[in-house]
Amino acid sequence: MDLIAQFVARYRKEYDFYEQACRMAAQVLDSNLQSTGVRAIVTSRAKNPTRLEAKVRQRSVKTPYTSVEQIYNDIVDLAGVRVALYFPAEREEVGRVIRSLFALVSEPKEFPTPGQPSYKKRFSGYWATHYRVRLPETLLNESQKRYTEANVEIQVASVLMHAWSEVEHDLVYKPLQGKLSDDEYAILDELNGLVLAGEIALERLQRAGEQRISEHDREYTNHYDLASSLLDLAREKLAGLNIHDSALGRVDLLFALLRELNLGTPENLARYIEALHSDLERRPLAEQIIDQVLGEEPTRYTTYEHIRALDVPVMSLTASGPPKVSQSDAIGQFMSLWIDYEKMLRAIASGRGVESLGIPSMKLLRVVKEVPDQLHVSAEHLRRFRNQLVHGIEVPDADYIRAQTSELQMLVARLKDILEPQAKSARKAATKKK
């Protein structure tokens, strides 16, 4: 048995492993793209053994293999996921989602790449981005840990480009009836031109839809509309800033919150985006707007907590039992204390002439010189924990939440010890002046 035959025989035994790995990757990616508001068709497949053998033998003509492991390292798409986008302009957003979910094995490969085709093309060819990733352990339970060893290739392109590339790939790179004629190459090139023109039309269609959705007197009917409007309004309101540094985030949760509070219109959304212009944090835009909505009225935390309770985690593939009742109680205790903490920060801001929009920033504490550095560190840690609790996919266990509640209690107590004497002194001084 030659080396390639050995490789194919081994791969046939491992076929189910690669099939399951790419299926799980596709499942988690599809769920997250849906929650972000990206319209796409996500599919997966493990490499067909018969076609794989033909590909390896073809590649071995130029670069002879010396070991089975060398072949495994050379074939990067044994487990493959395909993301076919309705709108080509959303490739960057998909890239951010992929980077946040998976461990990159290497830097993404952008197409088209320079080459010397036998036929001189008039059009640029295949436009796509290929990612080579692995499933991180955080997405898997103990019985699934072995799938972290599988490299998965994720191909991201428009639905039109994927269709054209399938035709070209089978005719040019896997010719079953001999080498193509110049006329056949010309026809493929012509089809590529039509596909590229089609992508331009899709981009125009997307922009037209964004403009229609962003009419101020209409309500968003789904989170896909909200995602389009969010991008459109962000480009307009945040002109000059790179909004692509911030991913969209869980637009589905933002949509549910706005709908529940009767705020689901472009006019209301624009108001929240306007408040981001001076301090655009590198956090998902949906997450920042949710924080503003909650910060306006503390009772909204209860509404959002209910929405989160109905939300099925989309990131984790881990099988888990029903949530503990004590976990819900622990969340309620922390958030109740956090609301009091926010009120204290707003009072500090007001007393020092600092305007506070939405969730008060921890930067407010740095205005108070009497607050020691160790409290700044504690405040920043608790802010990150609060964001994880409100926006994160997986909720920490009850004991950890209680520990953070205790830390928050100590922080509030320390701040009161520092700030209340100052407030009393200020009140006495004001009384004497009267």
Contacts of 50 (CB under 8 A, 6+ apart): none
Residue with tokens 């707003």: 346
Q: Which residues pair with 41 in a beta bridge?
A: 84
Alpha-carbon gap, residue 272 to 187, rounded angstroms: 50
For the chain, the maximum distance between any two Cα atoms, rounded to a whole number of angstroms, is 101
Cα angle: 352, vertex 353, 355; to 5 degrees? 120
* Secondary structure letter of residue 385 according to DSSP: H
| 240, pLDDT greater than 70 | no
Alpha-carbon gap, residue 151 to 30, rounded angstroms: 18
Alpha-carbon gap, residue 29 to 31, rounded angstroms: 5
| Residues 328/302, Cβ–Cβ less than 8 Å | no
| 144, pLDDT greater than 50 | yes
| 159, pLDDT greater than 50 | yes
Range with the largest mean pLDDT of 19-23, 137-141, 270-274: 19-23
Phi, psi values for residue 133, rounded to 5°: -135, 170
Alpha-carbon gap, residue 220 to 274, rounded angstroms: 19
Count Cα atoms within 13 angstroms, Cβ side, for 132.
15
Q: Give the model's confidence band at 79: pLDDT under 50 very low, under 70 low, under 90 confident, else very high.
A: very high
What percentage of the chain exceeds 90 in pLDDT? 35
Torsion of CA 271, 275, 281, 285, to 10 degrees: 0
Taking each helix axis from N to C terminus, what angle separates 300-310 and 285-296, rounded to the nearest 10 degrees?
140
Look up residue 373 and give its two tokens: 């550095």
Q: Which residues pair with 132 in a beta bridge?
A: 153
Q: How far is CA 395 from CA 110, 141, 316, 327, 406, in A?
A: 36, 16, 11, 9, 18
pLDDT of residue 318: 45
pLDDT of residue 288: 87
Q: Give the model's confidence band at 323: pLDDT under 50 very low, under 70 low, under 90 confident, else very high.
A: very low
Q: Which residue type does 71 have?
A: I
- Of 185-189, 201-205, 244-248, 400-404, the one with minimum mean pLDDT is 244-248
pLDDT digits (tens, 9 = 90+) for 366-381: 666 677 777 888 888 8
Range with the largest mean pLDDT of 21-30, 230-239, 354-363: 21-30
pLDDT of residue 134: 96
